[in-house]
């Protein structure tokens, strides 16, 4: 399945910024690296092995 939903992620030492790659005029969402890590861990596929 193809779609056109894309985000850009900029990882810094104190902040991770996430934005819509098609609407770069909107201010990015800024979260802590710990919050980003928790988000990614919660969305990653779980192996069935």
Cα–Cα distance, 41 to 43 (Å, whole number): 6
Question: Of 12, 45, 4, which Cα lies nearest the Cα of 28?
Answer: 12
Sheet strands (E) in 1-49 = 7-11, 16-20, 29-31
Q: Mind listing the pLDDT tens digit for each residue in 10-47?
A: 999 999 999 998 888 889 999 999 999 999 988 867 66
Domain ranges of the chain: 7-38
* Higher local confidence (pLDDT), 2 or 32: 32
């Amino acid at each position: 399945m193809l779609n056109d939903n894309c985000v850009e992620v900029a990882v810094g030492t104190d902040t991770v910024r996430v934005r819509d790659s098609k609407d770069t005029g909107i201010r990015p969402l800024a979260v802590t690296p710990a919050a980003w890590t928790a988000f990614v861990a919660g969305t990653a596929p779980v192996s069935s092995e």
